[in-house]
């Protein structure tokens, strides 16, 4: 038995997986995002911990024998979040999340200060990455910066509470912008550019290696027969990739979580930072990936669901007439949190265009599904310019539960989309696999196999042709609105 724990942005998900890789049980605990100013995005790390205790406690109640038999635990988490700890390892301020856009000025300064930044890290400085956030804290909260002894990513902070160890691994560490991504080691040069050094960083293991064991009091609380090994784990996208066996060069998927991601696995470090393409390490040693990232995907659907007062995302999507896809006069630019790929613009904002007296909630919802699909198409084209051209993509994350959305995405990308068994569990299932690999010293290729394809969604030819035209109009929105819409001033 193995546990996978994913600190998602919208919830903590914990999955119990047996030795035949069957999901035995899943428990989820919702999380809220706090937005104290326009463009800011924060969470209290104590909420992640409450989510872990609540979900594992629930699994212990429903499956005590299986929890007692857990041998390995894997961690997955939303990437880039800056969790700042003082000398006593207490959290100094709310975690600044991956979709926080406050550090645009610091990004520009960092690139100017360290011309080798892109060569070392393989990435442009983008707000949301961890290093520019620390530069922001140094400028705006100097007392907190001075008190900071350790900076941890979300899943690495909960690892500290689970094991007492300060450890990270390359897939998540690459998203800090402090990693020499090709070498998979911290870069003292980039750390120094933000006033930090190696003492502020956790030690690194590979995602599939042990990082420690569960603390005695938690082993007792959950009635485990012995202390399970806790694996290095992975950032949520790399963990999602392990969960669907996307560990060979060219394997591709689209993730529809709070964020949207178009991921392609690479067998070498292939940076190409133009147009906001990310080049990070994978969770499997000796592998890397490229990805395009949009900051609002399923979260845009959640937003419009609340806006129109619908009871839930699934209920709102069910009200959309699928025949309206491609005939919707309403366009939506989904930059609710600014955008990374392809614009790297934290000040961009979302917009509806083409509203009339005839527009109803279903038109807005369809526009959101279509606008997110076009934003993912922008990622596909940016990755193609970076040399990665997938022939098909798998779909993972909560949004992949919607057949309509996957059909829209297949047509917008003009690629087949594969729905995989368990894909909606995102990183949690992949984390459980990493826990097993670490506990059993197993070969990642033997465990991280591809699950059965539950459905292949081919692009509808007529819809793909109509979207060819709509895509041009969608792409005209950003330059037209730049300078008109933007971050609210205080
Ligand atoms: N049936 C559904 N159809 C479309 N989207 C859905 C459905 N159920 C959940 N979602 C979306 O899934 C999102 C959560 O996905 P998830 O992968 O768990 O995100 P995260 O890892 O960021 O917490 C919610 O924001 C919601 O919009
Ligand atoms: O910032 C990124 C990747 O660079 C995001 O993908 C976060 O990792 C959040 O993931 P979800 O909560 O949307 O799964």
Instruction: Please state the atom number of ligand 1 nearest to the C-alpha of residue 299.
Output: 25
Query: If DSSP codes are grouped into helix, strand and coil, which group holds residue 163?
Result: helix
Question: What distance in angstroms lies between residue 274's CA and the mean position of ligand 2's atoms?
Answer: 20
Nearest Cα residue to atom 22 of ligand 1: 258
Give the separation between CA 279 and CA 255, rounded to whole angstroms: 16
Pocket of ligand 2 (CB under 6 A): 8-9, 78-80, 98, 128, 175, 235-237, 257-259, 261, 278, 293, 426
Per residue in 337-386, pLDDT tens?
999 999 999 999 999 999 999 999 999 999 999 999 999 999 999 999 98
Q: What is the pLDDT of residues 19-68, one digit of tens each?
A: 999 999 999 999 999 999 999 999 999 999 999 999 999 999 999 999 99
Of 148, 155, 104, the C-alpha closest to 129 is 104
The whole-number pLDDT of residue 421 equals 82
What is the Cα Rg of the chain in Å? 21
Across the chain, what does the average pLDDT equal?
96
Residues 154/81, Cβ–Cβ less than 8 Å: yes
| Residues designated catalytic | 236
Return the domain boundaries, the chain.
2-244
- Beta bridge mates, 95: 43
CB count within 10 Å of CB 342 equals 21
| C-alpha 407, offset from chain centre | 22
* Atom 4 in ligand 1: residue holding the nearest Cα: 399
Which residue among 78, 235, 255, 379 has the greatest number of ligand 2 atoms within 8 angstroms of its CB, and so is best to mutate?
A: 78
Mean pLDDT over 265-271 rounds to 92
Q: Is 30 helix (H, G, I), strand (E, B) or coil?
A: strand
pTM attached to this predicted model: 0.96
Q: How far apart are CA 14 and CA 73, in angstroms?
A: 10
Distance CA 124, CA 131 (A): 11
In angstroms, the CA 63 to CA 224 distance is: 12
| Residue 79 is labelled as binding a ligand | yes
Q: What number does the ligand 2 atom closest to the CA of 297 have?
A: 13
Cα(224) to centroid of ligand 2, in Å? 31
Nearest ligand to the C-alpha of residue 10? Answer: 1
Q: Does CATH place domain 2-244 in 3.30.420.40?
A: yes
Query: CA torsion sign, 469 to 474 to 478 to 481?
Result: positive
The complex's ipTM? Answer: 0.98
């Amino acid at each position: 038995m193995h546990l996978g724990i994913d600190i998602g942005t919208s919830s903590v998900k914990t999955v119990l997986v047996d030795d035949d890789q069957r999901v035995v049980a899943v428990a989820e605990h919702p999380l809220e995002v706090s937005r104290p100013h326009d463009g800011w995005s924060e969470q209290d790390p104590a909420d992640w911990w409450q989510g872990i205790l609540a979900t594992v406690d629930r699994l212990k109640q429903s499956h005590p024998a299986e929890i007692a038999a857990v041998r390995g635990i894997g961690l997955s988490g939303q990437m880039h979040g800056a969790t700042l700890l003082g000398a006593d390892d207490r959290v100094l301020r709310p975690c600044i999340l991956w979709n926080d856009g406050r550090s645009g000025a610091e990004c520009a300064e960092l690139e100017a200060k360290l011309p080798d930044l892109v060569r070392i890290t393989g990435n442009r400085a983008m707000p949301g990455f961890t290093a520019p956030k620390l530069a922001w804290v140094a400028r705006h909260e100097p007392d907190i910066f001075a008190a900071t002894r350790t900076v941890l990513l979300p899943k690495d902070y909960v690892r500290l509470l689970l094991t007492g160890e300060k450890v990270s691994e390359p897939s998540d560490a690459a998203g800090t912008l402090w990693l020499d991504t090709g070498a998979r080691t911290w870069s003292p040069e980039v750390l120094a550019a933000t006033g930090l050094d190696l003492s502020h960083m956790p030690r690194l293991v590979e995602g599939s290696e042990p990082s420690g064991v569960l603390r005695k009091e938690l082993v007792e609380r959950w009635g485990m027969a012995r202390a399970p090994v806790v694996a290095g784990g992975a950032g949520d996208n790399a963990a999602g990739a392990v969960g669907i066996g996307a560990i060979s060069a060219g394997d591709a998927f689209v993730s529809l979580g709070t964020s949207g991601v178009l991921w392609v696995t690479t067998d070498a470090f292939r940076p190409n930072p133009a147009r906001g393409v990310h080049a990070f390490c994978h969770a499997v040693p000796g592998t890397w990936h490229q990805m395009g990232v949009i900051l609002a995907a399923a979260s845009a659907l959640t937003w419009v669901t609340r806006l129109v007062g619908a009871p839930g995302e699934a209920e709102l999507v069910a009200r959309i007439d699928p025949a309206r896809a491609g005939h919707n006069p309403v366009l939506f630019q989904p930059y609710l949190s600014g955008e990374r790929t392809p614009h790297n613009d934290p000040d961009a904002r979302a917009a509806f265009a083409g509203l009339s007296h005839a527009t109803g909630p279903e038109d807005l919802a369809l526009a959101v599904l279509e606008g997110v699909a076009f934003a993912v198409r922008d990622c596909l084209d940016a990755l193609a310019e970076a040399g990665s051209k997938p022939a098909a993509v798998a779909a993972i994350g909560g949004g992949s539960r919607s057949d309509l959305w996957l059909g829209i995405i297949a047509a917008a990308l003009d690629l087949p989309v594969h729905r995989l068994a368990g894909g909606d569990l995102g990183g949690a299932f992949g984390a459980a696999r990493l826990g097993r690999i670490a506990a059993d010293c197993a070969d990642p290729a033997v465990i991280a196999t591809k699950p059965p394809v539950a459905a292949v969604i081919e692009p509808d030819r007529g819809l793909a042709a109509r979207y060819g035209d709509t895509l041009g109009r969608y792409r005209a929105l950003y330059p037209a609105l730049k300078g008109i819409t933007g971050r609210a001033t205080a």
